[in-house]
Amino acid sequence: MDLSYTAEDQAFRQRVRAWLAENVPRQKLTTMEEKKAWHRKLYDAGFVGMGLPREYGGRDARPMEQAIVGEEMVRAKAPPPLNGLGIAIVIPTLIHHGTEQQKRRFIHKLLTAEELWCQLYSEPNAGSDLASLQCRADLDGDEFVINGQKIWTSGAHNADWGLLLARTDRTAPKHEGISCLLVDMHSPGIEVRTLKQISGSGEFCEVFFTNVRVPRENLVGELNAGWRIAQTTLSYERGGNTLSRYARMLQQVTRLLEVCWVLQRDGRPAIEDPVVRQKLGQIYAEMEVLRYASLRILSRLERGLRPGPESSLAKLHYSELDKRVQESILDVLGPYGQQVGGLPDELALVPGVDYGEEGSWMYAFLWSRAGTIYAGSSEIQKNIIGERVLGLPKEVRADRVAAQTARAASGDGAD
Amino acid sequence: MDFEFTEDQVMLRGLVREFLSEQCPVSHVRAMMDDPRGYDRGLYRRLIQLGTLPFPEEYGGAGLGMIEQAIVLEEMGRIPYPGPYFATVILAGGALMASGDRRAQARYLPDVCNGDLTMSLAFLEGGIAWGPEAISLSLRRDGDGYRLDGIKRFVPFGQSVDVILVVARAGEGRGAEGISLVAVPADAPGLAIEPEVMMDLTSKTATLRFEGVRVPAENLVGPEGGAWPAVELALRQAAVGASAEMLGAARKALEMSVDYAKVRKQFGQYIGQFQAIKHKLAEMLELVENAHAAVYYAAWALDAGAPDAALAASVAKSTVNVAARRVCGEAIQVHGGIGFTWEYDLHLYFKRAKHLEPLYGDTEYHRERVLQEVLAGRVAGSA
């Protein structure tokens, strides 16, 4: 056990820090063109998809190097690259299950953000129970015909392509009738509507499919093998890069400490109030534990151990912690934490942000409510931890009972 | 960056686990609950001679670090081991090492290392505080020696160790000024030792009353009036060590609960199938794994002399205090009525964890310390 960074890692961190100091845009990126140009710059510097094998445009970077880049990007307040979900989920899916032609056609353009991607999984009636999805893909000659609705699709309004889970066999048990397809988001019959979230912003979309035709060659893996394919890559989304999440919380709490010297509470700076100090000490301690736990995961990854169901512990940890941290921040700041317009600069997280824009205390507070829902809710994570880490018996579930009853009934019929 | 244990550390854990499971069954733990000394000298001597000690080899120790002590103590928390290992090795031994007083080390540590000498550290007095302001027991020069007057409470195994390191105050100074360490034999005239009866009957403590207790000058450990830094470091190590022991108790309680949820049936199914229980157990695992990360990070930081060592120690104690409380408490809840019985072993872990919770700093004390360290800039990577 040695928790110090190697000289090599420290030197790498210095190089990343120097590059970011030189290159991070001074002004906020507003247009998609500017965002793509910044993404391309990051890619050319080797900081996008860097953990991927070189043959697919990555750098074969070690988990530690990826973590360092993630942390330093937050530290330098660098805008994130585009296609985050695509890089985390679509590329591994293609590498593991795609055809040679699919890999050549899609991976490079995704990495360079020449094409933007979205992930078409959740539906209005298939959230935690994703496998009950109803969006249909019916084979018609050499094409699939897609009909149905997806929701909570990040960035669908900008996307060129989407990774779709759709039902291709309605007679099979629910996990066995799903396929994974690559969909051109510019196809006729696709309608995208942005959803306004509680933060006032609109990152998520609803996507409606009406007789959308997708060539059969865009099937990933085998027909009806979509659930298994999705399972192998969902844990990428869950494992996440917890160190950069820590870095983001640290940035906020460091700013909160500064604000606490200015903000008066009961006639003295908030930082001198023992109750405030308890809250600050608690959230800082909890954040440090997140950092330690992240280092522990990272060191396992460095040893070549893949995150299994344990990644659910990490996801549960940081998303639930984020809610606690944000609540504490608003406790300490009182009404000032909820003020978006007109908040004095000396009390602001980032001065001058408008409602629904990233950079206010309120925005981070509201977004913490999403983290325990997306990418597998806390309740789903606890099921996974209970059953696959602790080995507890599976719960009695109505859909399993129904499937068993159906199987037994069809078995009886065959006799 | 490597958070995994080395092969040697894995072997050490295996050695201690095997030793304790063979030689310290729960029947022994329960026997010691009724024993006035609270431990078995023979078992203690064999435990000491296992080769787990942190002291330099010249005194007969194994020269091991805080990570290894955390491993040993975590294993003890799983039993829970009844005896003065923590008092002797972590508290008194830690203070002796931190004092840098080689003469005192040479006088006591060889006997500690062969198991002939047990020790403890007497710190708390009338109230609750873990800074130098807690100390008012007076140390005065008296002829060619010293005289001690005052009271100490909650001295770990104070009724059954051989020598007690007493944190005392020389002169009328305040704060760290005047804090001194003095070794007092348990049979010194004027020293009255009254056993306290605590909720955790496996952890003995005593009240010590000093009325004109005289010791020779050579019993002073470290400089007269300048011992606070050594005491502070010993308490910091004790906070991490106690956290490790609580982690062991919590993990054991979790394991018992998981096992129970797999066999106990109600409403025609295993209770572990109910989300109410399954989710509770998942939360308990998260708490235990986070406690593990906090304990071993802090132990590493102490060994490495990291700039955030004090921060990490306080993070660990405040984290594990909360985690062990919840995990051991929820373990009783998962078990239901059986978990509330005397004959079922769960309460042994519940009580050991609770016993250590207020000691060497409670949750609020350490959260305040966390903030102080952060505001002083003593965070990771700051050196």
CATH number at residue B308: 1.20.140.10
Task: Verify that A161 and A294 share a domain, yes or no.
Answer: no
CA–CA separation, B208 and B166 (whole Å):
10
Task: Give the mean model confidence (pLDDT) for residues B52-76.
Answer: 97
Residue B123: name the closest of B369, B367, B354, B360 by CA. B360
Domain that holds residue A304: 240-389
Task: Verify that B131 and B183 share a domain, yes or no.
Answer: yes
Task: Verify that A219 and A244 share a domain, yes or no.
Answer: no
Strand duo A178-184 + A161-167: pairing: antiparallel
Task: Verify that B99 and B172 share a domain, yes or no.
Answer: no
Which tokens go with A137? 């893909």
Structure confidence at residue B382 (pLDDT): 73
Give the lowest-confidence range in A404-408, B280-284, B331-335.
Answer: A404-408
| A3, A272, A382: best to mutate for the B interface, most B CBs within 10 A | A3
A324 touches chain B (CB under 8 A): no
Task: Verify that B151 and B243 share a domain, yes or no.
Answer: no
Residue B74 lies in a domain: yes
Of the partner residues B67, B258, B286, the one whose CB lies closest to the CB of residue A316: B286
Specify whether the CB–CB gap between B38 and B32 falls below 8 A. Answer: yes
Specify whether the CB–CB gap between B135 and B169 falls below 8 A. Answer: yes
For residue B290, the chain A residues in CB contact (below 8 A) are: 289, 292-293, 317
The per-residue pLDDT for range A200-231, each reduced to its tens digit, is: 988 899 999 999 999 999 999 999 999 999 98
Structure confidence at residue A143 (pLDDT): 98
| B67, B371, B375: best to mutate for the A interface, most A CBs within 10 A | B371
Structure confidence at residue B137 (pLDDT): 98
Residue B381 lies in a domain: no
Residue A98 lies in a domain: no
Q: Is A53 helix (H, G, I), strand (E, B) or coil?
A: coil
Residues 376-415 (A) with a CB less than 8 A from some CB of B: 379, 381-383, 385-387, 389-396
What are the Cα distances from residue B333, in Å, to A379, B76, B273, B339? Answer: 20, 24, 16, 7
User: CB under 8 Å to B361, separation ≥6 — which residues?
Assistant: B130, B235, B239, B314, B317, B318, B369
Of the residues B116, B137, B160, which one is the last residue of a structural domain? B116
Q: Which residue of A has its CA nearest to B274?
A: A395
Task: Verify that B151 and B249 share a domain, yes or no.
Answer: no
A277 touches chain B (CB under 8 A): yes
Structure confidence at residue B198 (pLDDT): 96
Of the partner residues A9, A271, A299, the one whose CB lies closest to the CB of residue B3: A299
Task: Verify that B273 and B302 share a domain, yes or no.
Answer: yes
Inspect the interface and report whether the beta carbons of B300 and A9 lie closer than 8 Å: no
Task: Verify that A217 and A249 share a domain, yes or no.
Answer: no
Inspect the interface and report whether the beta carbons of B258 and A392 lie closer than 8 Å: yes
Query: Rounded mean pLDDT of chain B?
Result: 97
Specify whether the CB–CB gap between A199 and A363 falls below 8 A. Answer: yes
Distance (Å) from the C-alpha of residue B273 to the closest C-alpha of chain A? Answer: 4
Residue A410 lies in a domain: no
Structure confidence at residue B140 (pLDDT): 97
Task: Verify that B275 and B366 share a domain, yes or no.
Answer: yes
Residue A19 lies in a domain: yes
Query: Rounded mean pLDDT of chain A?
Result: 93
Instruction: Summarize chain B as % helix, strand, coil (round to 5).
Output: 55, 15, 30
Residue A396 lies in a domain: no
CA–CA separation, A401 and A152 (whole Å):
29
Residue B1 lies in a domain: no
Percent of chain B with pLDDT over 90: 98
The per-residue pLDDT for range A69-112, each reduced to its tens digit, is: 999 999 999 999 999 989 989 999 999 999 999 999 999 999 99
- Residue B186, pLDDT > 60, answer yes
Domain that holds residue B145: 121-221
* Number of folded domains that form chain B: 3
Residues 6-45 (B) with a CB less than 8 A from some CB of A: 6, 9
Residue B379: name the closest of A318, A291, A258 by CA. A291
User: pTM value?
Assistant: 0.96
For residue A313, the chain B residues in CB contact (below 8 A) are: 285-286, 289
The per-residue pLDDT for range B84-102, each reduced to its tens digit, is: 999 999 999 999 999 999 9
- Residue A415, pLDDT > 60, answer no
Q: Which residue of B has its CA nearest to A277?
A: B368
Residues 61-90 (A) with a CB less than 8 A from some CB of B: 64
Task: Give the mean model confidence (pLDDT) for residues B101-122.
Answer: 98
For residue A302, the chain B residues in CB contact (below 8 A) are: 1-2
Residue A35 lies in a domain: yes
Task: Give the mean model confidence (pLDDT) for residues B214-225.
Answer: 97
Catalytic site includes residue A387: no
Task: Verify that A199 and A299 share a domain, yes or no.
Answer: no
CATH code, A23: 1.10.540.10
pLDDT class of B317 with cuts at 50, 70, 90 = very high
The per-residue pLDDT for range A371-399, each reduced to its tens digit, is: 999 989 999 999 999 999 999 999 988 88
A257 touches chain B (CB under 8 A): yes
The per-residue pLDDT for range B262-314, each reduced to its tens digit, is: 999 999 999 999 999 999 999 999 999 999 999 999 999 999 999 999 999 99
Q: Which residue of B has its CA nearest to A279?
A: B367
Task: Verify that B15 and B100 share a domain, yes or no.
Answer: yes
Task: Verify that B367 and B239 share a domain, yes or no.
Answer: yes
Specify whether the CB–CB gap between B367 and B318 falls below 8 A. Answer: yes
Inspect the interface and report whether the beta carbons of B285 and A302 lie closer than 8 Å: no
Strand boundaries in A327-397, DSSP class E: none
